[in-house]
Structure 1
Amino acid sequence: MRRLPQHIIRLAACTSPSTMLARLGPFGPLAEIEPRQWSDVLAVNLTAAFLGARAQIPAMIEQGGGALGFTGSFVSNSVGLPGMGAYGAAKAGIMGLVRGITADYAAVGIRANALLPGGHSDRHGRR
């Protein structure tokens, strides 16, 4: 098995549950988000997925196929939510990545899928 490149290991180390929750934001209207904040959200939620897939696809080709799974979100794929533009853009990008991988590699037996978890309300009906 191929060894993962250090940049992927570093990105994976940034995706603990507590870090991922911090990467949902910044929350607020797009005009108030700094470009660096935008880049950070896309790096964790979209670029990390791309880098992980990019590292795995050659091995999958070599073994005759495989499957890649991603976590998307209902945010921006089903509904836009106020203050979640950066996160929503990144998660919508996951769907483009999944479709692109499928278009590029289905013929060699590689498939890609994404789960789109939904939101929930508490017992008072708040999200």
Structure 2
Amino acid sequence: MSKRFEGKVVLVTGGGEGIGRAAAFAFAREGATVVVAGRHPEMLHDTVEQITALGGKATCGIEGDVSHHGKQDAERIVQTVVKHHGRLDVAFNNVTELGPNQPVAEIAEAVWGETLAANLTGVWLSMKHEIAHMEKNGGGVIVNTASNIGSQGMLPGLGAYAASKAAVSTLTQTAAREYIDKGIRINAISPCPLGRGAKVEEIAETVLWLASDEASYVVGHDLVLDRKAAL
């Protein structure tokens, strides 16, 4: 039986830990060549080493911070993937910054800005350059990490995080409608960052499903991954 992502090149941002690392392992098990990117090179290196030790294909962990427009790291990351592999078929944009637990009126302006930059601007910049490549090369699939705190406002004290993740959900839906006719399918997942929620391996399997041909008719959804939220 052929693997779902055999011959595909997959970029995972935030691939050094948590959901990103679990997704990188899952994509590799399904035959993909995986490229991980993020801010912590030692974690990225460890992810690549573990995947290759298990017989998977993972290359060039790319250090970079996609949230800062001036640094152009998002563009460089996509360019590096294409330079090494000639293509980019799937992108999982998974960089997340929870930020401090504070009431809205107590959030410092710097914290607000940093949280939105990490969670929203980083996704936008990543999509900007991923879409530019995919549009010229026959399409692709993008999955973004939002949060059910953003979509349902479940917890007080996380106003900046909730606002940024709700915006990721809206950005995903808008981009999905703009680019589906160009062969680019875009969706989001909304796991719960606190409490039971779903295990990282369970979330990773959902990411793979959204990125696979099995979900070829799923466009512009924000899929909530939390047992309580679904009841």
For 2:190 and 2:119, locate their aligned partners in 1 and report how far apart those are by CA, in whole Å: 13
- Name the structure with the higher strand share: 2
More RCO (CA 8 Å, sep 6+): 1
2:195 aligned to 115, 120, 124, which one? 120
The one-letter amino acid of 1:30's match is V
Aligned to 1:75: 149
Please tell me whether residue 7 in structure 1 is matched to residue 83 in structure 2: no
The one-letter amino acid of 1:43's match is A
Q: Percent identity?
A: 35
Contact 1:101–1:111 (8 Å) recurs in 2: no
For 1:31 and 1:53, locate their aligned partners in 2 and report how far apart those are by CA, in whole Å: 31
Give RMSD over aligned pairs: 2.4
The one-letter amino acid of 1:68's match is I
The one-letter amino acid of 1:115's match is I
The one-letter amino acid of 2:186's match is A
Please tell me whether residue 28 in structure 1 is matched to residue 102 in structure 2: yes
After TM superposition, the score normalised by the length of structure 2 is 0.43
For 2:157 and 2:195, locate their aligned partners in 1 and report how far apart those are by CA, in whole Å: 17
Alpha-carbon distance, 1:64 to partner: 1.6
The one-letter amino acid of 2:73's match is I
After TM superposition, the score normalised by the length of structure 1 is 0.76
The runs of at least 4 aligned residues of structure 1 exceeding 6 Å deviation read: none
Count of aligned positions: 109
Contact 2:153–2:162 (8 Å) recurs in 1: no
- Which segments of 5 or more consecutive residues in structure 1 lack a partner in the other structure? 13-18, 122-127
